[in-house]
A = this chain, B = another copy of it.
């Protein structure tokens, strides 16, 4: 495999635009300089619009999990308790983080099955410091109902923490309207920046709930807020400078396209993948209900009868297209195609064409064409 001749269609890291890669390769600057402060400020201000929030934004050098850790660790205090809702891998991760510092009370649903708000509401307990959920569960390609859960969190006066890592900028995500106190995203998803930055929005309510010296040292949200208010704007520890260059460029690129336009485009791309799947009799994985939607950033499909994961994804990789498999218990059972960031219509069609060729060769379908035709119809509107 040659990365420069490969189409990366996984749900993160995603393809990065050449102009972003070039911006990233500028020489280093001091991270305590006015120059760095200006870049950070510019990113923070564009990110507020990207998050649809008035809340303050901090950027941490680490993966999305670094941001999830910061949120839970900051709020939970010494031995506090939080409610963690899960129907996939990343929901479970909040439970692990909660149990690291205090106690997580999980409300778990089978991976890929919708939340039941009644069960969640019944599980809220006295002294619950936070309610956590994953908006777009990357592991199963499903969007969970943040608006509804936000109401439950508000009633119990808990801090509402939402993992928006593979969601913000791709799915509808209304940080302020839904009352999200801490929202987290990662650079390598809808922003189409390389991985390595966690972006966290913090409401005033969340800030006043942050417990000093709670959680991890490196992931201290109060320290990040304090440094971000210095002049010049800073991070508490040396930041990954090139990723800030890349983030700034990618934000300007997305802003030029229009954040709404990009979201609408991402939606259309995902719809075209779903249309192709239906045309090829490939079953979509997530169970649908009033409280779930198909993700617009990652489409999870069952691996069809008559072909193995290895043959499907391995065959595509030989043709220079990388798609994802299932995680943990879903390994070998599903495959996933990302549609975030700067993914193009041509990228989608090439991916579906190649999938069709492989399915035809393995005798799963009779001939190629139906998937591309269905996808094309959606793209043409």
- State the A residues within 8 Å of B (CB): 1, 3-4, 6, 8, 10, 12-16, 21-22, 24-31, 33, 35, 61-66, 69, 72-73, 96-97, 99-101, 186, 188, 194-196, 213, 215-219, 237-243, 246, 322, 324
**Pair B73/A217 contact, Cβ less than 8 Å:** yes
B-side contacts of A195, CB under 8 Å: 28, 31, 61, 238-241
B-side contacts of A324, CB under 8 Å: 30
**Pair B96/A217 contact, Cβ less than 8 Å:** yes
Q: Within the assembled complex, what's the spacing in Å between the Cα atoms of A217 and B98?
A: 9
**Pair A3/B31 contact, Cβ less than 8 Å:** no
How far is the CB of A105 from the nearest CB of chain B, in Å?
Answer: 17
Can you tell how many copies of this chain the complex includes?
2
**Pair B27/A15 contact, Cβ less than 8 Å:** yes
How far is the CB of A337 from the nearest CB of chain B, in Å?
Answer: 13
Q: Within the assembled complex, what's the spacing in Å between the Cα atoms of A62 and B66?
A: 9
B-side contacts of A26, CB under 8 Å: 3-4, 21
Q: Within the assembled complex, what's the spacing in Å between the Cα atoms of A1 and B22?
A: 19
**Pair B241/A13 contact, Cβ less than 8 Å:** yes
**Pair A29/B12 contact, Cβ less than 8 Å:** no
How far is the CB of A197 from the nearest CB of chain B, in Å?
Answer: 8
**Most chain B beta-carbon neighbours within 10 Å: one of A12, A33, A64, A238:** A238
Q: Within the assembled complex, what's the spacing in Å between the Cα atoms of A213 and B322?
A: 34
**Pair A218/B31 contact, Cβ less than 8 Å:** no
